[in-house]
Structure 1
Amino acid sequence: MNGPWTTASAAVHRARVRGCLLGGAVGDALGYPVEFSSLDRIRSTHGRHGVTGLVPGAHGATGLVSDDTQMSLFTVEALIQARAREREKGIGGAWPVLLRQAYERWLETQSKPGPEQGGAPTGGLLGELWLYARRAPGNACLSGIAQMYAPDPWLELDGKPGQVNPDSKGCGTVMRSAPFGLVNPADAAFPMAARGAQITHGHPTGYYAAGALAAIVAHLVAGESLEGAVLRTLRLLARHPGHQETTTALEQALDLASEGMPTAEKLETLGAGWVAEEALALAVYCALAEPGVERALLLSVNHSGDSDSTGSLCGNLLGALHGDVGLPHEWVRQIEGRAVIAALADDLAAESVRG
């Protein structure tokens, strides 16, 4: 992110940031209606190829996003605030508190019907009515945020259980962590995302998987291939005690992607995606094994598991790799909150360029 920016390079960066956030929302919306369905049920309901596009969910609407996209956007809002604070006041290190506060605002949207009326002005994401929707949020995210913990940003990652939910490694860590890779180089994105994950999840695999996603995204934004980004992230992971579960999951995804025609049955050998390292591995496999963006996204949601999270992560990766122009435009058009997501992405891209 350092060095001179030309108009062209800034435009490419903006497209990748937009692509990452919009791609995540597309994958989330594809998978949300079938999140708790088995592969057999998905196929019996939607045909032998499973989900082939956006379908109505339990709420009867198409293109709805879940807590994955919601929390990612609040992560973005916190990062924008942190970058602006550092630039304008020269104060660094406040981002964990700003991130925790952003997640507390998200938590507010999970219990209220909409922005408060007649009180203090509600700005930012708290003013967006469409975000006031409870879409199967993870228990560790809910309980963790309620503890109001902000990790020390200066401590080294030691592979030991964190203070909050020390045994939890659910995919709620990784599904919200792509934005860290949009404003930082990989070696900074990794520890930042890992520390951010510790606000809610203390298991080392949970926070290392979050760091790994952020690092992969950072490499993609810098122009690396997906395979190259994963390989470089594996080298980064190896520096940290307790990385083995995350490393093994990514290595298995790389190996499986090299084994010919991708299938849902192969995908399911990597797990169901309810825990962080499995969700990341499933997303990486789909993005690597399927050359087409649309087909990769569909593969990532047609399985027995956490379809919205694996779809969201796959979309993050593909969007960061190809930019928003590489996403299926008809799907993007139908996404809930699309204009807000795009505007927030542009604000994040602008802050990273200024930084």
Structure 2
Amino acid sequence: MTEPPAQPPTPPAQPPRTAWGRSEQQDFRSRVRGCLLGGAMGDALGAGIEFDSLEAIRSAHGQEGVTGYVPAYGRQAGAITDDTQMTLFTCDGLIRAHVRRDAGGWHPPTDLHAAYRRWYATQNDWGPDERKDSDGWLAREEWLYSRRAPGNACLAGLAGGRMGTMEKPKNPDSKGCGAVMRSAPFGLLIGWEPRLVFQLAGECAVHTHGHPTGHLAASAFAVIVHGLVRGASLPTAVQTALQLLANRPGHEETTAALQAALAAVRAGLPTPERLESLGEGWTAEEALGMGVYAALAGEDIRSALLLAVNHGGDSDSTGSICGNLLGTMHGDTALPPEWLPELEGRATMLELADDFALEMTHGQSLHATEGWLTRYPR
């Protein structure tokens, strides 16, 4: 096989459109909702135990570990973290990119960088009072103005005005999981080809995580989600990601992590100890491998999410990744209903998910309406 170019071409100005019937639209909307809500659910399940060892988790919550939400960040239940915050701004940035395309501008990495800068403002400002109309509606959601243990690489990468690129990435030595955990929405670009999803996720990951593992794991995650939203099985979607990784410089750690996750599923019944054999989840490839393993090994959505968070590592990120995968695969109506009412920000997520689905299915007809351009300014 030939080596890929150092920087693949930017996605085309007119990504392919899909012909949408009513049932297809309903299925897609359910999968987008499931991706956001499922990821937030896993995030919230892990939020209160993120820095605890497995021994400490069992000591505090019993031998099975947590079996539902526990207090975190001043909330009794359902608190989300920076993982969900940044995922929402990824959705916002992708919508804004498509809106701006019809005005003659098309460079999604720039729009995503601007979206992440809006998230960065939520980590430093007291509230949304100083937001401009051009910031759109999501940046004015007051509940998002709360620090939830954001990663240092994300904060440092977005602190200045310069945008990281493949040639000059931000934090070139960082391979933390902060780019992976926000990248599921790239996979929801259902009309795109997998290689372009892979490319765009990587181009936006280097805004904060320039190490090859940091951005390649984000690209692989996006492609796995993309396979699921198109109806592929999870093992098939993982194989597509492995194929796209194969000749990328520096792919070895991400490839090994995904292969280890598949091998762990074949090794026997799922246990926290088997999950921990894949790592702790602080680095990009470990978080991806652990999230994929839990999604594959769990008997059902509930057990998979609990498996994903009950370990001595980055529980919210592995839970978030697992939840993104399961929610995309099964849709929002399959998520455990008892964990939905207390989930922080649920109304915002549903609103954003429905807007994302509308943009992907009816975008061009929306771009001439004042209401849409107020929500997602050019």
Please indicate the TM-score interval, normalised by the length of the shorter structure: over 0.9
Change (3 A) 1:120 1:235: closer
Give the drift of 1:116.
1.6
Paired with 1:215 and 1:29, the residues of 2 have a C-alpha distance of 24
Give the drift of 1:151.
4.6
SS in 2 for 1:51: coil
> Does structure 1 retain, via aligned residues, the 8 Å contact 2:73–2:148?
no
How do 1:341-352 and structure 2 match up within 5 A?
341-352=349-360
Paired with 2:147 and 2:281, the residues of 1 have a C-alpha distance of 20
> Once the two structures are superposed, what CA deviation does each residue of 1:269-328 show, in whole Å capped at 9, x if it has no partner?
000000000000000000001130000000000000000000000000000100101111
SS in 2 for 1:333: coil
- Which moved further from structure 2: 101-110 or 33-42? 101-110
Pick one of 120, 132, 144 that aligns with 1:107: 120
Task: Indicate yes or no: 2:49 matched with 1:34.
Answer: yes
- Which moved further from structure 2: 314-323 or 60-69? 60-69
Task: Indicate yes or no: 2:122 matched with 1:116.
Answer: no
Give the drift of 1:77.
0.5
> Does structure 2 retain, via aligned residues, the 8 Å contact 1:162–1:204?
no
Match of 2:105, as an amino acid?
I
Paired with 1:149 and 1:289, the residues of 2 have a C-alpha distance of 41
Partner of 1:12: 27
Task: Indicate yes or no: 2:53 matched with 1:45.
Answer: no
> Once the two structures are superposed, what CA deviation does each residue of 1:190-237 show, in whole Å capped at 9, x if it has no partner?
111111010011100000000000000000000000011001110111
SS in 2 for 1:163: coil
How do 1:152-167 and structure 2 match up within 5 A?
162-167=168-173
SS in 1 for 2:48: helix
Give the drift of 1:61.
2.6
Unaligned runs of 5+ in 1: none
SS in 2 for 1:34: coil
Partner of 2:110: 97
Pick one of 69, 73, 78 that aligns with 1:54: 69
Give the drift of 1:60.
3.7
Match of 1:22, as an amino acid?
L
Task: Indicate yes or no: 2:120 matched with 1:84.
Answer: no
Partner of 2:296: 288
Partner of 1:125: 138
Give the drift of 1:58.
4.2
> Once the two structures are superposed, what CA deviation does each residue of 1:99-126 show, in whole Å capped at 9, x if it has no partner?
1111111111111221126x75564122
Partner of 1:23: 38
Task: Indicate yes or no: 2:150 matched with 1:150.
Answer: no
SS in 2 for 1:248: helix
> Does structure 1 retain, via aligned residues, the 8 Å contact 2:32–2:331?
yes
Paired with 1:24 and 1:187, the residues of 2 have a C-alpha distance of 23
Paired with 1:169 and 1:230, the residues of 2 have a C-alpha distance of 20
Paired with 1:78 and 1:14, the residues of 2 have a C-alpha distance of 18
Paired with 2:150 and 2:170, the residues of 1 have a C-alpha distance of 17
Partner of 1:73: 88
Paired with 1:54 and 1:200, the residues of 2 have a C-alpha distance of 30
Task: Indicate yes or no: 2:250 matched with 1:242.
Answer: yes
> Does structure 2 retain, via aligned residues, the 8 Å contact 1:17–1:182?
yes
> Once the two structures are superposed, what CA deviation does each residue of 1:3-46 show, in whole Å capped at 9, x if it has no partner?
31110011101111110011000000000000000000001001
Task: Indicate yes or no: 2:69 matched with 1:63.
Answer: no
Moved over 4 A (4+): 119-122
C-alpha RMSD of the superposition: 1.5
| TM-score calculated relative to the size of structure 2 | 0.88
Match of 2:72, as an amino acid?
G
> Does structure 2 retain, via aligned residues, the 8 Å contact 1:19–1:325?
yes
Paired with 2:314 and 2:100, the residues of 1 have a C-alpha distance of 36
Give the drift of 1:162.
4.7
Match of 2:213, as an amino acid?
T
Match of 1:177, as an amino acid?
S
Partner of 2:305: 297
Give the drift of 1:239.
3.1
Match of 2:128, as an amino acid?
P
Paired with 1:57 and 1:212, the residues of 2 have a C-alpha distance of 30
Unaligned runs of 5+ in 2: 1-15, 364-378
Give the drift of 1:187.
1.7
Pick one of 186, 194, 218 that aligns with 1:180: 186
Q: How many residues align?
A: 345
Match of 1:216, as an amino acid?
I
- Which moved further from structure 2: 205-214 or 102-111? 102-111
- Which moved further from structure 2: 176-185 or 313-322? 176-185
> Once the two structures are superposed, what CA deviation does each residue of 1:40-88 show, in whole Å capped at 9, x if it has no partner?
00010011100001111241431110000000111111100001111x2
SS in 1 for 2:343: coil
SS in 2 for 1:334: coil
| TM-score calculated relative to the size of structure 1 | 0.94
Paired with 1:344 and 1:24, the residues of 2 have a C-alpha distance of 14
Paired with 1:188 and 1:127, the residues of 2 have a C-alpha distance of 31
Give the drift of 1:148.
2.7
Paired with 1:336 and 1:166, the residues of 2 have a C-alpha distance of 33
Give the drift of 1:255.
0.7
> Does structure 2 retain, via aligned residues, the 8 Å contact 1:115–1:128?
yes
- Which moved further from structure 2: 290-299 or 235-244? 235-244
